Amino acid sequence: MKVSCPTEGTQPSGRIEVSDDLTDPKLQFWPTLEKVVENGLLLGLEESLKRKASGRKPVEPEKQKRTDLKTAK
């Protein structure tokens, strides 16, 4: 990495300018959020259909085995 002196005719201000182009639809919040929700919904629907198609019956709550978590003591 090399530090260069300021371009001729400019004065260093000590600030770094950062800007985002939020006019690009790929960077906007709402379209991105909408896609995340859509993907989550589709994933949930896909998993539900896989379970229905497999033909397995859901396990009754009494027969479910609890997973013991290992905790640091």
DSSP labels, 18-57: ----TTSGGG-HHHHHHHHHHHHHHHHHHHHHHHHHHTPP
Rounded to whole angstroms, the Cα distance separating 73 from 51 reads: 38
Which tens digits make up the pLDDT trace of 23-40? 776 667 777 788 889 999
pTM as predicted: 0.41
Return the pLDDT at 57: 78
Rounded to whole angstroms, the Cα distance separating 19 from 34 reads: 24
With 90 as the cut, is the pLDDT of residue 20 above it?
no
Is residue 30 left, alpha or beta, with left meaning phi > 0 and alpha meaning psi from -120 to 50?
A: alpha
Return the pLDDT at 32: 78
DSSP state of 61: T
